[in-house]
């Protein structure tokens, strides 16, 4: 999403800090806009993407007290997941939910609006179902719930549209996955041969996307920095390919990120997705009734191949206070139309105060 697609002027934080959330982690946070304004929290995607200055421009600075934060291990939070010495044991969905609640208490906020998309959608829903009394409204652009079925689609199913790129993504994992996440040494002749020969047989074995995501999770933990760098590049190339048909945004939204940011994001993504984000399958849709009473604006791009529209449709159907708008010219990367819908929703909730 470009700067031009965002309507409010650039602003700088009036406060920022590093919150000690335990387990040796310090989470970066900042607040922008009006200190007495309506509290809102930006929940970034990835997982592991980090927040960006452009996120501030979604908010009317005269109406909002906007809070941005970098989730554990990414952005300006420390320790950073690009460092192989950083232990990610205490980096799970439950930890991030607890961090959000700790940040709310630290800032003295009673209730806040939550906004974000992609992985941010999953974390918003998980937090709101755990703490519905702390959420005033929700705005999601790009609805996901990180079901294993959604992860499987992103790293296998959508390969039907990009067979050449998916074959490269799969082969670059080095070994064939056997559905358990075990693998042969990357690049070995036996690994490459068995990977290609086993084809769909291994891909339909146990494990998310046939164990392919787990294989990348192993590669991002490899002691050899060259192996980690290659796996990161291959993962980003696949993510870029999935979004390549969209009319808006960068042609290389993942590969063009700074090296440390890419290493952290892919390592965190592969870890989370290989565990199904530690969520029971379908739990966020099943537990949508817990959101009853929270007004919500759901926005989803019709052209989003990475996160098909049906998840947003099912969520809206289970959530009476949610309205779903399908943005015909947007994909996962958004569009000017999508940006306008986000701003309109946020402006509307601020005016209602």
Backbone φ and ψ for 142, nearest 5 degrees, come out as 100, 85
Other Cβ atoms less than 10 A from the Cβ of 119: the count is 28
The edge-to-edge listing of strands for the beta sheet with 15-22 is: 15-22, 25-33, 64-69, 38-43, 112-116, 135-141, 296-301, 322-327
- Largest Cα–Cα distance of the chain, in whole Å? 64
**What letter does residue 277 receive in the DSSP assignment?**
G
Instruction: Establish whether 248 is a catalytic residue.
Output: no
| Marked catalytic residue, from 44, 80, 332, 341 | 332
HEC profile of 15-35:
EEEEEEEECCEEEEEEEEECC
Instruction: Tell me the C-alpha distance between 38 and 103, whole Å.
Output: 16
Instruction: Establish whether 182 is a catalytic residue.
Output: no
**In this structure, are strands 38-43 and 15-22 parallel, antiparallel, or unpaired?**
unpaired
The count of residues in the chain is 353
- Region of 137 on the Ramachandran plot (φ > 0 left; ψ -120 to 50 alpha; else beta): beta
| Marked catalytic residue, from 82, 304, 339, 341 | 304
| Marked catalytic residue, from 49, 77, 82, 118 | 118
Instruction: Establish whether 118 is a catalytic residue.
Output: yes
> What residues contact residue 340 under an 8 Å CB cut-off, 6+ apart?
7
User: For residue 111, what are its two tokens?
Assistant: 């209730």
- In terms of C-beta density within 10 A (0-12 exposed, 13-18 middle, 19 or more buried), how is residue 153 classed? buried
- On whether the CB atoms of residues 317 and 162 are closer than 8 A, the answer is no
Catalytic residues: 118, 304, 332
């Amino acid at each position: 999403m470009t700067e031009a697609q965002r309507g409010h002027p650039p602003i700088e934080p009036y406060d920022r800090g590093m919150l000690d959330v335990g387990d040796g982690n310090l989470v970066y946070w900042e607040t922008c806009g009006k200190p007495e304004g309506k509290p809102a929290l930006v929940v970034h995607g990835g997982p592991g993407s980090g927040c960006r200055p452009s996120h501030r421009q979604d908010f009317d600075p005269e109406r909002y007290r906007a809070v941005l934060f970098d989730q554990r291990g990414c952005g300006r939070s420390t320790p950073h997941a690009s460092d192989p010495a950083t232990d990610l044991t205490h980096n799970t969905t439950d930890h991030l939910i607890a961090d959000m609640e700790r940040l709310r208490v630290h800032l003295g906020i009673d209730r806040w609006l939550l906004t974000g998309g992609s992985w941010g959608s999953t974390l918003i829903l998980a937090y709101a179902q755990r703490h519905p009394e702390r959420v005033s409204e929700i705005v999601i652009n790009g609805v996901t719930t990180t079901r294993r079925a959604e992860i499987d689609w992103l790293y296998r199913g959508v390969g039907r549209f990009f067979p050449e790129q998916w074959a490269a993504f799969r082969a670059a994992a080095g070994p064939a996955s056997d559905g358990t996440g075990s693998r042969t040494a990357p690049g070995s002749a036996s690994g490459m041969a068995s990977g290609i020969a086993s084809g769909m047989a291994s891909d339909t074995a146990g494990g998310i996307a046939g164990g392919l995501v787990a294989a990348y999770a192993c590669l991002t933990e490899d002691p050899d920095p060259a192996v980690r760098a290659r796996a990161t590049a291959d993962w980003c190339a696949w993510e870029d390919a999935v979004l390549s048909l969209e009319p808006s945004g960068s042609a290389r939204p993942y590969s063009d990120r700074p090296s440390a940011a890419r290493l952290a994001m892919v390592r965190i993504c592969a870890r989370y997705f290989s565990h199904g984000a530690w969520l029971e399958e379908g739990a966020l849709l099943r537990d949508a009734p817990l959101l009853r009473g929270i007004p919500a604006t759901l926005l989803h791009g019709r052209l989003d191949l990475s996160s098909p529209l049906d998840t947003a449709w099912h969520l809206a159907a289970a959530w009476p206070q949610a309205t779903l708008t399908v943005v015909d010219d947007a994909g996962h990367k958004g569009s000017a139309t999508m940006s306008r819908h986000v701003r309109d929703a946020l402006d509307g909730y601020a005016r209602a105060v």
